[in-house]
Every structure is written in structure tokens, then in C-alpha cells.
């Protein structure tokens, strides 16, 4: 068993499950499967008060497993739920404001980096990480080629860690790892069948342990 920090690590995106208890159980079960660096909690069209309730239920579950809980978009929800950080998907101005206001108190990352120019503008803000892809962008078995290409370019040049959105096939985690990215985000690949989530997290970690490139100190 390697120390996970020396290779690409898993980031989970909470699935869109309306029932709060079912959603929390799916996340808790997945986290029992093995190493997860962080969990991103999107709003998914919930109204603010319902999202607040979901966040308050999920954040302690994530933190109890030793992962960082990141709220997508809403800093008030993040504060009230005592989350570890904010995942920003909006404009550069929104990102700038979040970095200025919350770093280093909270982890702040994300991005709407659809090309190299956008990515470099985000990089100038010195966020904690940059995200290539969309939180619900896992629509094919493999990761999107454009996100893989951007992540590979970024990882080869820039020290700020990057997360690349994977596909619906758990094995897409390896194609992400091969770019040199520090993190791979999975959603449907882990949660399509919530009962299988722990074994899929274990399987992805075993695959990354065996085949992911190692980072140099």
C-alpha cells in the first residue's frame, strides 16, 4: 500500500438524491471504501434552505471520514454547515471575491476553465485548486478529452493542484491520473448504484495504487 499523497487521489461529487437520509448514507458508504481527499456538495436545484439542511447533514459525514467537505457555490451555506471549503463554478469576479474573502480560512477552488486563457486567469488568483470539467459533466464512460488535455498541460507547468472530472466508468480515474493531475473527480462512476459505492471506491484506489504515476517530492 502506498501513501496516497504520492499519487492522484479521488474526489467524490455527491449524487443528486432528493432524500437527505439516502444521500447521506450513499456518501458515508462510499467513504468507507478507502482514501478520498475531498467531497464536493452541489446544490442541484434545491432551494437555499433545503440545500442548507443537506449540507448540514453531509458535512459531518464527510469530515468524520477524514475528507474535506466543499460546498459548491454558496459561502453562507458553507459557513453555517462548518464546511472546509468552497467550490466556485461561477464567473472570474465571483472567484476573485471568494479567494479574497475566504482564503486561507477556507479551501477555495473550482473554476470555469474551458481553455488555457481562462485557466491562467484563475491561476493568477492562487486558488487552492483548479477544476477542469463540470460537476455533472460525466456523461460518457471516459473523461472528456479536452479536460484531459487541459489538465495535462496545467499539471506539467503549474504548481496549483488540479482536479479533472472523470467519466462514468471507474477506470476513467486512471486516464486522469496519467495526465499528472493531482485529483480525479467521480460522481456517476461511484454512485450510479449506491450499494456498490464502497467497492468501487476500493477498486479505484487499488487501480491508482497499482498504476498511477508517482509524484516527486
Furthest-apart CA pair in the chain: how many Å?
Answer: 44
At the second CATH level, the architecture of 9-211 is Alpha-Beta Barrel (3.20)
Confidence of residue 216 (pLDDT cuts 50, 70, 90): confident
Quickly list DSSP for 170-194: TTHHHHHHTTT-SEEEESHHHHSSG
Reported pTM: 0.97
Residue carrying C-alpha cell 449524487: 15
Q: Where are the domains of the chain?
A: 9-211
The mean per-residue pLDDT over the stretch 52-70 comes to 98
Model confidence over 91-148: pLDDT tens digits? Answer: 999 999 999 999 999 999 998 899 999 999 999 999 999 999 999 999 999 999 999 9
* Pairwise CA distance, residues 32 & 46, whole Å: 27
- Nine-digit cell at 12? 467524490
Quick check: 217 pLDDT over 70?
no
Amino acid at each position: 500500500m502506498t501513501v496516497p499523497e504520492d499519487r492522484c487521489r479521488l474526489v467524490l461529487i455527491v449524487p443528486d438524491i432528493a432524500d437527505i437520509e439516502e444521500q447521506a448514507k450513499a456518501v458515508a458508504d462510499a467513504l468507507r471504501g478507502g482514501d478520498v481527499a475531498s467531497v464536493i456538495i452541489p446544490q442541484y436545484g434545491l432551494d437555499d434552505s433545503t440545500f442548507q439542511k443537506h449540507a448540514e447533514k453531509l458535512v459531518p459525514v464527510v469530515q468524520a471520514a477524514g475528507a474535506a467537505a466543499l460546498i459548491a457555490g454558496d459561502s453562507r451555506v458553507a459557513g453555517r454547515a462548518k464546511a472546509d471549503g468552497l467550490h466556485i463554478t461561477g464567473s472570474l469576479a465571483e472567484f476573485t471575491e471568494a479567494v479574497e474573502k475566504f482564503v486561507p480560512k477556507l479551501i477555495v477552488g473550482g473554476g470555469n476553465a474551458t481553455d488555457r486563457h481562462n485557466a491562467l486567469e484563475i491561476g493568477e488568483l492562487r486558488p487552492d485548486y483548479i477544476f477542469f470539467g463540470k460537476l455533472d459533466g460525466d456523461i460518457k464512460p471516459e473523461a472528456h478529452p479536452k479536460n484531459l488535455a487541459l489538465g495535462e498541460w496545467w499539471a506539467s507547468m503549474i504548481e496549483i493542484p488540479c482536479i479533472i472530472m472523470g467519466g462514468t466508468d471507474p477506470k476513467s480515474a486512471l486516464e486522469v491520473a496519467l495526465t499528472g493531475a493531482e485529483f480525479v473527480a467521480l460522481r456517476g462512476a461511484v454512485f450510479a448504484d449506491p450499494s456498490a459505492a464502497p467497492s468501487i471506491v476500493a477498486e479505484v484506489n487499488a487501480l491508482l495504487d497499482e498504476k498511477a504515476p508517482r509524484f516527486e517530492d
